[in-house]
Chain A
Amino acid sequence: MSLFFSYLSILLALTSGLLAILGEYGGFRLPTGKVDLAPGQDQNGTIHRFLLRSIHELSHQQGVFALLLLSGIGAVIGGATALLTNQIARDILPLGLPWMHWHVRLDALSGFFLIIIGIGIIPVSLYGPGYIRQYRQDRYPLWLLGLCTGLFVAGMELVLLADDAFFFMIAWELMSVSSYFLVAFQHEHARNRRAAFLYLLMAVVGAIAIILAFGVLASFSHGFDFDGFRDNPLTPFWATSAFLLALVGFGMKAGLVPGHAWLPEAHPVAPSHISALMSGVMLKIAIYGLMRFSFDLLGNIQWQWGVVVLAVGTSSAVLGILYAFQQNHVKTLLAYSSIENMGIIAMGLGLAMIFTGAGRAELGVIGLLAALYHCLNHSIFKNLLFLAAGSVIHQSHESDLDHLGGLIHRMPKTAFIMLMGCVAISALPPLNGFVSEWLTFQAALQATSLESGVLRSMIPMAAAALAFTGALAAATFIKLFGIGFLGLPRSQHAAHTREVAHLGMLSGPGLLVGLCLLFGLLPTFVIQALEPVTALLLGATLPSASAQGGLWLTPGTQSVASYSAPFVAIGLLLAWWVTQAFTKRVSPDEPKRGPAWDCGFGGLNAKMQYTSTAFSQPVRRIFSPVWDLQESHEGASAFSLTHRPVRHHLEVGDQSWRLLYHPIGNLTAEAARRVARLQGGSIRVYITYSFATLLLLLGIASL
C-alpha cells in the first residue's frame, strides 16, 4: 500500500518530466507563428495562431505541474501510510545489473522523509506555473526545466527507497546531476556557471566519500544490500572510519561547515521554486542519508561520533547565521540561513548520538526527535521563504535588499506570508520553529545525567551557542523583512512593484503558512507520529512526551519541562484581546494620520533610511574576524567643508575560501603541474611508457 503510492509518486514525477519534453519535441505540438504583424499578412490568422500557442503552452506547463502536484500528494500518502502503520515494505525491482537487482525498502524513517518531500513538492507545483512565465518570455528551454525537476524529485524519492548501496548511489547521483542542470538553468551569467560547476564538483567529492563509506561496510558484508550491512557489525576502528567518511559525504551535501561553500552559491542562482526544493527538501535527504547510515546501517553508536557531529553542527549554526546576517542578496541570505538550520539539525543528531553512545538511549530520543522535527519545520518555512522571495524578485526585478523597501504596501499578501515565515524561522512562539528549538534545548539540558564531566560542561556551551544562533536568526529575519518590506522604497523598481497576479503564487506559500501554524500548535501529535522512527533507529521511544494528553508537550516528566502550544496561542490571543478591549475603552478615537515626525527635521526621504549594510554593521564590527572583510571609503574626509560624493565599498567574503578551498585548489593545481611533467608530448616517450607498463604487467602476471 505504502509502496504503491511511492511508486506512483515516482512515476508521476518522471511522467511530468517526460511531458515537459513531449511538449517541446512531441508530435502534438501545434504549429507556431511569429507575432509579426507585417502589413499584407493575414493578421487574424497570426494572432489566432499565437493565441493558440500561448494557450497550448500554458495548459501544457500546467499539465507538467499538475502531475508534479499529484506526485507530491502520492508521496505524502505513501509516506504517511508507512509512518503511521509502521510496517516495513520490501520489494525487488528487476532493474540494474543482472546479478544485482534494486532492493527497495520503505520503513518509518523513509516514510517520514517521503512526507517531507511531498510537503515540499505540493506548494512548489502550485507556485511553479505562475513563476515560470517569465522564462517563457525570455525563451528559456522550459522542457529542460520540467525534465530535470521531474528527475530531481524522482531521484530524491528513490534515495529514500533504496535498500542497497548500488541503487542508493544511482539515485543519489540522479538527484545531484539533475539538480546541476537546474542550478545551471540560466547559464548565460558567468556567476551561475561557476556556481553550478562548484556544486557539481563538491557533489562528486561528497559522493566519493559516501562510496568509500559504503565500501568499508561492504568489505565486512557479502554484498551491497543494506540487510547485509545491518547484520554484520564492524570493528570499532572501521566503524569510526566509515562514519567519518559518511559524515564528510553527507555533510557536504547537507551544507555543514566546512563543506558548505557550494550552498550559498548554488541555491540563489537556481529558479526560486527550485531553490525552495533544494534548500527545503534536498538538504534533508542528506540528513536522511546520515541518519540511515549511522543509526541503522552502522548501529553501535559511539559517543565520540556525537561529539564530532555536535561540534560540526554548532559551528555550522553559528557561522551560518553570522554570514546570513551580513548578506544583502535575499536568496543568498536564505541560503546561508539554511546552513544554520542544518547545523541545528546536526546538533540534535549529535546529542542523540552522545546520549545513545553513553547508554542513555531514552534521552537520545529527545535529541533525535528535535532533529527530525526541525527537518520537517525547516522544510516548511525555508520553502515558504524561498517562494516568497521568488515572488518579490519576480515582481520587482530586484534581489538586493538595499534596492527594496516598502513592499508591504504594494504586495500586502506576499508580505504577510513572508512575515509568518520570518517569525517561524526566528524560533518565536507559538509557531513551529520554536518547538524544535525548544526540544533541542531540552535535549541539551539532559547533559547532567551523563557520567563524563567534559561532556556535561561542553553540551551546555553548545546550547548557549544555539541561543546565540536563535537571537541572531531573529535579527537576520528582522533585517530581511524590515529592510525589504518596511520603510520607503529604495529604488524605482521597488516603488512600482505590484502584488503577484497568479493565484498559485499565493496559495502555494499560503499553504505553508498554514502548516507552520499547524505544526507549531500541535507538536504532541507530530511527536507521537514519530514514535516508530525513534523505535526503529534507537530502539527507544518517548512515551512521556504525550503522557499529559495532546495539549502538553513534556519530553521528561511534567516537573522537568512542559510546553503547551495551544494554551500559549490561546493565551496570546486572549492577552491581545484584553489589551485591545482595554485600550478601546480608554481611548476610543481612531488614530490620526500625518507626516512622519522624525524628530521634527522633516523632508524625510528614502535615502535617509538605514540600509541593510548599515543595519548589520554593529554585529559586523563586533565579530569582524569571522568574515573576510574588504571595506574602503572614497572621498570621505572629516575636514571637507564642500559637498563631495562619498563612496563606500564593502565586500563580505567567506573565510572558508581563504582558509580551506583556495589552499586545496592551489595544492591540486600544483600536483597537476607535477604530474603533467610526465606528458612530454613526444610519441617516443609515450611508447616507452607503454612498453614499461607492459613489462611491469607481464612481470606481475608471471609471479
Chain B
Amino acid sequence: MNGLLATLEPLLFIFISPLLAGWIKWIKCRLQNRRPPSLLQPYRDLAKLFRKTPVVASHASWIFEATPYILFASMLLAVAIIPSIAVHLPTASIADVIALVGFLALGRFFLILAGLDIGTAFGGMGSSREATIATLAEPAMLMGVFTLAMSANTTNLAIAIDYVLDSGLVLRPSFVFALAGMVMVAIAETGRVPIDNPATHLELTMIHEAMILEYSGRHLALIEWAGQIRLMLFGVLIANLFFPWGIAETLTPDALTKGLAAMLAKLMELGMLLATAEMMLAKMRIFRVQDYLGFAYLLSLLGMLSHVILEVG
C-alpha cells in the first residue's frame, strides 16, 4: 500500500505540473486583458512535441541525447522525496533536503553541458549564465533551508514539516526571512521574471532558453516538462515547508483527498501571486542578478541570525 502510494504520488505530481504552467499563463493573460489559451494547452504542446521526430546536430555527442533523460530522471527522483500530498511516504527518508539540492544540481550539470555540446554561441552563452546564476542561487537556497533545518533540528523534509505542524502557527521572524529568501531563490531557479523570461526568444536576453535552443521533438518535450515539474516542485516545497496545513498526516483515503485538495489550492494561490508579480516586474539585466540573489542570501542569513539570537537563547 505504502509502496503503491509512493509510486503514485510522484506520477500524479508530474502529470499535474503542466496544469500549473497553464494556470499561471491563464492568469497572466487575464491580467493583461488578453484571451487566455486553454488550461490544457501545455499538455497539447507536450503531446505535439512528443510526436515529432527529434533532429540532432550531426556533430552532437551522446551527452546531448542523454541529457533530457538524465534531467527528467533527476527531477523524478526529486519529486519522489518531497512530501507533497502526504507527509510520511517511505521514499521520503531516502534523501534529505541537501540531497534534493544535489538532484537538482545533477540535472542542471548535464543541461549546462548539453548547451556547450553543439558549439553554438547561444548555447555557450546560456550555459555560462545559467552556471553563474546557479552558483549564486544555491548558497542562498541552502541558507534558507538551513534556517528551517536548525529550528526543526533535522534536514529531513518530512520531519521538518511535522515540526512546523506540531508547533502550530507561531510568527517566527526567522521563518519570515527564510520564506522571503526562498521565494526569491525559487523565482531565480525556475527561470521566471525578473531573472529570466520563459516567454522570450530574443537571443540576448535568454538564459535557460538559450541553452536548449538546439533541442527538438521528444528531447525538447522532456526538457520543457522537467521545467514545469521544477516550477511545481519549488511551489510545493515552499507551500509545504512554510504552510504545511492541510497535508495528509495519515495515509487514509480521506486525508489523502484532503491533502491533494490542499496542495492544489496552495499551488493555485502561489500561481496567482507569481503571475501578478510577473505582471508588475520587468526583467532585470544580467549583471543585476547578483544584487537580487545577494539580497535573497542576506534575507536568509538574517533569518538564520534571528533564529540563533532570538529563538534559541
Quick check: A448 and B312 within 8 Å, CB to CB? yes
Which residues of chain A from 568 to 617 have a CB within 8 Å of any chain B CB? 568, 571-572, 575-576, 578-580, 583, 586-587, 589-599, 604, 606, 608-610, 614-617
Q: Are the C-beta atoms of B109 and A562 separated by less than 8 Å?
A: no
A453/B138 in contact, CB under 8 A = no
Residue pair A448, B150 in contact (C-beta under 8 Å): yes
Binds B, one of A35-43, A234-242, A335-343, A471-479: A471-479
- Report the nearest A residue to B118, measured CB to CB: A596
Inter-subunit contact A429/B113 (CB<8 Å): no
Distance, CA A487 to CA B117, complexed state (A)? 5
Does B188 lie at the interface of the complex (its beta carbon under 8 Å from any beta carbon of A)?
Answer: no
Complex contacts, B93 vs chain A, CB 8 Å: 552, 558, 562, 564
A504-530 CB mask vs B (1 if < 8 Å, else 0) is 000000000000000000000000000
Q: How far is the CA of A453 from the CA of B135 in the complex (A)?
A: 29
* A486-B63, A486-B117 given; A560·B153 CB < 8 A: yes
Contacts of A427 in B (CB 8 A): 102
- Indicate whether A618 sits within 8 Å of B73 (C-beta atoms), given known contacts A561-B96, A610-B124: no
Tell me the bound Cα distance from A608 to B118 in angstroms: 11
Q: A305 — which chain B residues lie within 8 A by C-beta? A: none
Partner of B127, one of A438, A471, A604, A615: A615
For A567, the chain B residues whose CB sits under 8 A away are 94
For chain B, give the interface size range: 35 or more
**What chain B residues lie within 8 Å of A562 (beta carbons)?**
93-96, 156
* Chain A residues, Cβ within 8 Å of B123: 610
Chain A residues within an 8 Å CB radius of B180: none
* Binding stretch for chain B, among A13-21, A388-396, A404-412: A404-412
A56 CB, nearest partner CB in chain B, Å: 42
Q: Is the CB of B129 within 8 A of A618?
A: yes
How many residues of chain A are within 8 Å of chain B by beta carbon?
A: 84
Q: Please judge, given known A-B contacts A438-B99, A463-B142, whether A575 and B131 are in contact too, CB under 8 Å.
A: no
Does B239 make an interface contact (CB < 8 A)? no
When distances are taken between beta carbons in the complex, the residues of chain B under 8 Å from A471 are 105, 134-139
Stretch at the interface among B16-24, B52-60, B252-260: B52-60
In the assembled complex, the Cα of A614 lies from the Cα of B129 at a distance in Å of 10
Q: Take A471-B139, A610-B124, A619-B135 as given contacts and tell me if A591 and B54 are in contact as well, using a CB distance cutoff of 8 Å.
A: yes
Q: A456-B308, A575-B77, A579-B76 are in contact. Are A464 and B301 (CB under 8 A)?
A: yes
**Nearest CB in chain A: distance from B30 CB, A:** 32
Name the contact of B109 in the complex, choosing from A478, A563, A590, A591 (C-beta under 8 A).
Answer: A478
A563/B95 in contact, CB under 8 A: yes
A457 at the binding interface (Cβ < 8 Å): yes
Q: Pick 26 A–B contacts, CB within 8 A, sort by A.
A: A408-B63, A409-B59, A428-B102, A445-B150, A464-B139, A465-B139, A471-B138, A475-B134, A482-B113, A487-B118, A559-B156, A572-B73, A578-B76, A586-B50, A589-B53, A591-B219, A592-B53, A596-B57, A596-B120, A597-B57, A597-B213, A597-B216, A598-B213, A609-B119, A610-B127, A619-B132
Chain B residues within 8 Å of A, Cβ to Cβ: 50-63, 65, 69-70, 72-74, 76-77, 80, 91, 93-96, 98-99, 101-103, 105-106, 108-109, 112-113, 115-125, 127-129, 131-132, 134-139, 141-143, 146, 149-150, 153-156, 159, 203, 213-214, 216-219, 222, 286-287, 290, 297, 301, 304-305, 308-309, 312-313
